[in-house]
Amino acid sequence: MRGCYVNTRSGKTFWHKKDLFKWLGKEFKPMKPGERKALRLPNADILKNYPRDAKLKFTGNAYAKCDYINKRCKALDGKLLLHSQMKFTYKDDTGKTWNYTLQDLIYDESGAKPRLIIESATGKKLPTVKSMLSSSSSSSSSSAPAPRARKAAPKAAAKATTKAKASPKRAVAPKAPAKARVRNTAVKAPLKPVRPPLPPPATNPPRVKREHNEAIPSGSQPSRLKRPPSSSSPSRESVEHIYTNVVTPATERPLRDHEVYMVMGLAQQMQMDESMQQALQKAYATPPEKRNQLDDAAIAAFVNKINNERSQDVN
C-alpha cells in the first residue's frame, strides 16, 4: 500500500509532498540527511541521585593535552547538569561536532585536579558521577538475598554415626615390598589397523539446466520468498487518539490503569528508554498537583516525542 495526502473538502489526492505544497502555494524544502536530531535523554541514575538544579563549575585546572577538552570545560561553567547531558555539544580539533556524554563528564571530573565539579544551587559540592555509580551498583548487589545453605538430611547423618560406632577399627597389615619389574626388551611388530570397506558412491540423478524463462514443472516446489520486515512504528490514528483522549486530559487528572497501559504501549513503539518509561508510568498515575520535577520532565519528553511523530505524519 502507498501513502497519500487527501483533502477532505475538495477531495483531491496528492501522491507526493511537493505537489501538495505547490497546491497550497508554499515552498517545499526537503530535509537533508542528518538534519533531524534524535532526542537525548539523561542517565536514570543522574535523575535519581542529583537535584534538578545541580550545576557544573570549572575549577580552572586546564591541564588537558587536547585544547578542545579545556574549551568544553570552560563552556560548561555554570551550566546545568541536565543541560550538559541533553543539549550541550562541542567540537574536537578536526572540527567535528560531538554530543557531551556521560563518559566525557566522568573524564573531566576525574583525577587529582579535576577540571569540573558538581555543585548544588546553594554552592554545596556534590559527589562525583563515578562514585555515585559505584555506590548505586554496590547497594543493588548488597540488597540481593544470599543463597541458603543446604542442610544435611538427619536420617543419613544418624545412620553414619551408628555405623561408625558399631564397626571397630581394624589393624592395617604392612604392605609387602614391591618386586622389581623386568622390562621386556623384545620388539613387537606394530599391528596394522583393519579399516572397514568404503561404501559404494551414491548415484545422484543429473541436474537439468533450465532457461531463465522456462516454466517450473508442476511436481517441483518453488523457492520461498522472504517476508518484508514488520515495522513497529505507531500508526497516525493511534497517535492522534492517545494524544487527544489520554495525554490532554492528563494535565487535569491522573490516568486510569487502561490509559496508562495505552501510554506505555505507545512509548515502547516509539523506542523510548526503559528508565524513562518507568518514570512516565509513575508520573501519569500521580495527580497533577502531587507531581514533582522529574515527573514533569518525563511527561514533557513524551509529549515532545508525540509532537515529532505527528509532524512527521503531516509532512
Last residue within a domain, chosen from 138, 161, 178: 138
Are residues 298 and 264 part of one domain?
Answer: yes
- Is 72 within the bounds of a domain? yes
Cβ atoms of 121 and 51 within 8 Å: the answer is yes
In total, the chain counts a number of residues equal to 315
- Return the half-sphere exposure (C-beta side, CA atoms, 13 A cut-off) of residue 245: 11
Are residues 99 and 14 part of one domain?
Answer: no
- Is 181 within the bounds of a domain? no
- Average pLDDT (117-140) is 87
Residues 16, 12: Cα–Cα separation, whole Å: 12
**Model confidence at 271, in pLDDT bands (50, 70, 90)?**
confident
Are residues 98 and 72 part of one domain?
Answer: yes
What does the pLDDT read at residue 276? 84
**Model confidence at 99, in pLDDT bands (50, 70, 90)?**
very high
Which cell goes with 235? 500508526
Residues 77, 100: Cα–Cα separation, whole Å: 14
Neighbours of 135 (CB within 10 A): 13
Grid cell 509532512 in the structure block, residue: 315
Cβ atoms of 159 and 151 within 8 Å: the answer is no
Are residues 107 and 49 part of one domain?
Answer: yes
Last residue within a domain, chosen from 87, 119, 138: 138
**Model confidence at 232, in pLDDT bands (50, 70, 90)?**
low
- Average pLDDT (160-182) is 59
Percent of the chain with pLDDT over 90: 16
- Is 113 within the bounds of a domain? yes
Last residue within a domain, chosen from 138, 169, 202: 138
Question: Which strand (E) or helix (H) includes residue 301?
Answer: helix 293-314
Are residues 52 and 134 part of one domain?
Answer: yes
Domain that holds residue 134: 44-138
Are residues 22 and 57 part of one domain?
Answer: no
- Is 16 within the bounds of a domain? yes
Q: Is the pLDDT of residue 155 over 60?
A: no
Query: pTM higher than 0.85 for the full model?
Result: no
What does the pLDDT read at residue 170? 63
Are residues 81 and 26 part of one domain?
Answer: no
First-to-last CA distance in the chain? 18
Residues 44, 295: Cα–Cα separation, whole Å: 13
Contacts of residue 242, defined as CB under 8 A and 6 or more positions apart, other chains included, come to 262, 263, 266, 306
Residues 58, 62: Cα–Cα separation, whole Å: 9
Q: Is 267 exposed, middle or buried, given 0-12, 13-18 or 19+ CB atoms closer than 10 A?
A: buried
- Is 176 within the bounds of a domain? no
DSSP assignment, residue 98? E
- Is 155 within the bounds of a domain? no
236 phi, psi to nearest 5 deg: -70, -40
What does the pLDDT read at residue 76? 92
- Is 287 within the bounds of a domain? yes
What does the pLDDT read at residue 1? 60
Longest pairwise C-alpha distance within the chain: 114
- Is 219 within the bounds of a domain? no
Q: How many domains does the chain have?
A: 3
DSSP-assigned beta bridge partners for residue 118:
56
